[in-house]
């Protein structure tokens, strides 16, 4: 596993500077990260790059508002604005269609692209995606409240970052001081502190994609992957999406929280390679 990020690239997407990694060769596979404090494309997917890049050309962007990309405008819609930026990135790179993996908010962005421009996505793997609604669990969860309120009050702190990571993982021994510090350093970027990407603003709250009637007409082969012990977006959040998307299959990973690709990386790599046809 490559823990240290390699040199990335920058693209101008309609005046928005987007930082991304471009690794491997083969069919294009876009990996979209979630929205936790300090998240970046590389921090979410560094445990998957070696296995996946042996079969695919990986495009791993920092969603604007995170990492080295420009900030997300305060009045931008969620996830609509991000979905347009990612499609714009594909345009800049001359890519007509790609496979997608999206975790949490990245899953919501992937789903929005599928709804608005279905021809840009081949297969999609949605990993604990946003945009759904829990059937049984209390909503919003403490993990979501932590995420939305991370920069309020006294601002972002190590305690808040540790709380979100703890909610995201089943194995609490993995919540190390080093991991907390890495995320905290990214979360303390002065640009992000001044304009937190998940702070509620004029653009309104994130869309309830599960209410969109177009879900029942999506043509994509879809794999929904969920950690059984997810305490950020609980497992039953996926039930409505699974029932509505015609070609959707749900895979549940036990002893795993919100970061399936990170906490159960070997199992996730196996699932993803099989789903995207690397072993066929």
CB atoms within 10 A of CB 60: 28
Q: Pick the closest to residue 192 from 15, 21, 33, 39 (CA basis).
A: 39
Cis peptide before 140 (omega within 30 of 0): yes
220 is catalytic: no
The catalytic residue among 19, 99, 220, 258 is 258
The rounded distance, in Å, linking the Cα atoms of 133 and 231 is 14
3-state secondary structure 156-222: CCHHHHHHHHHHHCCCHHHCCHHHHHHHHHHHCCHHHHHCCCCCCCCCCCCCCHHHCHHHHHCCCCE
CB 105 within 8 A of CB 79: yes
The rounded distance, in Å, linking the Cα atoms of 29 and 26 is 9
Q: What are the start-end ranges of the H helices in the chain? A: 41-45, 49-53, 80-92, 105-116, 142-148, 158-168, 177-187, 190-194, 238-244, 260-263, 265-275
CA 176 to chain CA mean position, Å: 22
Cis peptide before 268 (omega within 30 of 0): no
Tokens of 149: 């309120």
Just list the catalytic residues: 258
């Amino acid at each position: 596993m490559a823990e240290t990020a390699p040199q990335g690239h920058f693209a101008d997407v309609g005046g928005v500077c987007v930082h991304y990694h471009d690794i491997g060769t083969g069919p294009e596979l876009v990996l979209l990260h979630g929205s936790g404090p300090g998240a970046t494309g590389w921090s979410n997917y560094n445990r998957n790059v070696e296995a996946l890049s042996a079969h695919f050309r990986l495009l791993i962007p920092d969603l604007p508002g995170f990492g080295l990309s420009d900030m997300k405008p305060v009045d931008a819609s969620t996830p609509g604005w991000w979905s347009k930026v990612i499609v714009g990135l594909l345009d800049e790179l001359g890519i007509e269609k790609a496979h997608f993996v999206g975790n949490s908010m990245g899953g919501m962005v992937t789903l929005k692209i599928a709804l608005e421009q279905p021809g840009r996505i081949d297969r999609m793997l949605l990993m604990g995606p946003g945009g759904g609604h829990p059937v049984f669990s209390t909503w919003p969860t403490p993990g979501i409240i932590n995420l939305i309120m991370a920069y309020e009050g006294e601002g972002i702190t190590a305690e808040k970052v540790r709380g979100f990571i703890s909610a995201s993982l089943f194995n609490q021994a993995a919540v190390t001081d080093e991991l907390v510090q890495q995320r905290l350093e990214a979360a303390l970027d002065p640009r992000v502190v001044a304009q937190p990407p998940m702070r509620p603003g004029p653009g309104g709250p994130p869309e309830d994609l599960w209410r969109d009637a177009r879900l029942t007409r999506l043509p994509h082969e879809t794999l929904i992957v969920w950690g059984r012990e997810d305490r950020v977006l609980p497992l039953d959040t996926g039930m409505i999406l699974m029932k509505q998307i015609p070609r959707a299959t749900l895979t549940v990973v036990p002893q795993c929280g919100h970061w399936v690709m990170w906490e159960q990386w070997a199992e996730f790599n196996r699932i993803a390679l099989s789903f995207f046809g690397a072993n066929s």
